[in-house]
Chains A and B, each alone.
Chain A
């Protein structure tokens, strides 16, 4: 009996010891050392900006481009002055693997670290999962690449890329301009393609155009079932909202099935030179039309300088969305300058008003947080139309 009691006491002691050990292990607490004394003399304040992106997984190259773009912006802007305060920018880079399940944890981590604003997320799925958490903490987020239509409007979300709702409408408008009465829209069941296809369908239906929807899977090689359906429908145009590999195969198979007078169209996913080879030659895809969201790179105000700096730093050409991520940091800094405050709530308010001079040109955000070209860039179309002529894409 005696020994059992001792053992029980020992066990309880052990439990307490484990609890204590755990708390000391996990509890390397965070220290906040931003100086907030209000005085007339010059002072230095460090602000932390989170980068919520994907460094591993299938979209790692996008994450790398975003990281390098933002780091370039940091090196340009570090030590900016507002009134008599010098701000030092500290970046905190976090990876969510491009998985929405990982996203809330990453968001919380950045909030715990005390960031005043977040650049991200990389994907729309991650953004959807993280946005409520940032919203609760009152932290603004600017994404350079999350384009899904249903992300706006939210109270704390802005983007420097052009949303699918705008690009989808542009594609639909183009169809109407060309006088098409029947349009077949096909997606690849992916997040991006379906979102874009939905917007196109909505706009075309509103314009009185008859629409039929088809879908394949990303990675498919045989679209004969869909081609047969499209042929039965007999459209004036076929729009593929996915990527160029499937687009090339689909358009080739449409031609082979005898659809000669049909106009092929697509979003930015198909605007790649590789589509010619994938479609088995220029003859199959000549005349294909594509739109791209955003100001074209050759018309961007700071593109050449940005490209040179990027290559010097990263050793390769800027990847997709490097410039929009770069400008996201510029926008945050401008909002801080405007309100003379690095308080997240003030940043959100001022982001709605800023006019940013970035690599992509002069821009701001509309009341929904959507990208809006302003100033010198206001005349530039934020959607560029391209046509495939003789195996090369030509801007219209």
Chain B
């Protein structure tokens, strides 16, 4: 471990003093400008598609963060709610059963159905804790997928539902990748604002209290079960909304989208980004979803281009094919990155303050920080000086 009072301290201090809204603006500016860069021909359309999928995962990660990060309930079947949202949209807006409902109707229906599913799972299971809850949610996730796989008259079984209609919003046909990108981005921003406010509200603090110590929290007058249920339902609703947008974008839905591994992927995004931290899980989602694509492009395109054709030709044939066919190895690198991150930064990339301290509980320096922060000793002091 490097010395914490070393050369990085001024840099860290600088970054911690930049007000938060600046970061938010920078992130938003970057997100908004992606399609503009694409229009200008600076980046390829590919990055828009990667962006759209990443934004869907951002929404999922934010939703899962509500139960996992804020309330501390491990949900291993989260993708089930995503599936409910996706299938609601796919069934009600495709030639399959001849329905063609309006975009806004389906946004609401997908969210509401997913919330109902959340209520359905939440009611009987929330008296369970820890590992048991994880097992039950895992089972629920699989049951949902298998149901969609077998309910052939409605979902067309494993064949899936193709040719989902494009959404129409205020008479505008959402068709191009850039239009989809902005559509999903708008919803991501709305959800982020709502969840940030919720986190800071009484409800959010009650969730955190339940996560830290359920018995103490109930003694302080927090109704545990109903608040936990609320958190499950809200997070399910976010997943349903994401599912609706995803189905519209993808235009094709089949049960393989909703396998157990997808739930695990979203859990990884939340854990790697930083449990309980909304900017953290957003970053985690973008990284985990975008990284494979960046690696693929880096090795099979940017690197050869940077080296130039001549240098590439001078390399042995085996090395050349290795670069050009790097496709095969990209998931390997993603795996290594995950392992390294978990070892060296267990609290996540942009950790929530409380979580960070929990992870480093045994570290005396962190304990000191916690003590100081809890009693606002340090900050109060500095305020007086200023």
- Which residues of chain A have a CB within 8 Å of any CB of chain B? 7-8, 10-12, 14-15, 18-19, 22-23, 26-30, 55-56, 93-95, 97, 99-101, 104-105, 108-109, 111-112, 124-125, 128-129, 132, 136, 148, 150, 189-191, 194-195, 198, 215
Contact = CB atoms under 8 A, between A and B. Distances in A.
Interface string B22-43: 1001100110010001000111
A11 B22 contact: yes
Contacts of B17: 7
Q: Which of A19, A97, A129 has the most CB of B within 10 A?
A: A129
B331 interface: yes
Interface string B290-329: 0001000000011001100000000000000000110110
B305 A19 contact: no
Nearest to B326: A95
Given A94-B327, A189-B150, A19 B29 contact: yes
A10 B22 CA distance: 10
A11 B44 CA distance: 28
B46 A100 contact: no
A191 B254 contact: yes
6 contacts: A23-B37, A30-B44, A100-B254, A105-B46, A129-B251, A194-B159
Contact of A108 (B46, B158, B302): B46
Contacts of A104: 49, 53, 250
Contacts, number: 126
Contacts of B48: 108
A108 B250 CA distance: 13
B125 interface: no
Contacts of A93: 324-325, 327
Contacts of B149: 189
A15 B29 contact: yes
Nearest to A125: B254
Interface of B: 14, 17-19, 22, 25-26, 29-30, 33, 37, 41-50, 53, 149-150, 152, 157-160, 162-163, 175, 177, 250-252, 254, 256-257, 293, 301-302, 305-306, 324-325, 327-328, 331
A150 B18 contact: no
A100 B18 contact: no
Contacts of B25: 15
Nearest to B52: A104
B328 A129 contact: no
Contacts of A129: 250-252
B50 to A, nearest CB: 6
B299 to A, nearest CB: 13
A56 B160 CA distance: 22
Given A93-B324, A101-B53, A105-B49, 13 more contacts: A7-B17, A15-B22, A15-B26, A18-B26, A18-B30, A22-B30, A56-B327, A101-B256, A101-B257, A104-B53, A108-B45, A129-B252, A191-B158
Given A29-B42, A191-B159, A100 B252 contact: yes
B49 A194 contact: no
A26 B37 contact: yes
A39 to B, nearest CB: 26
B293 A105 contact: yes
A22 B301 CA distance: 17
A48 to B, nearest CB: 13
Contacts of A150: 159, 162
Given A105-B293, A125-B254, A27 B43 contact: yes
A11 B43 contact: no
A55 B293 CA distance: 15
Nearest to A22: B30
A56 B150 CA distance: 27
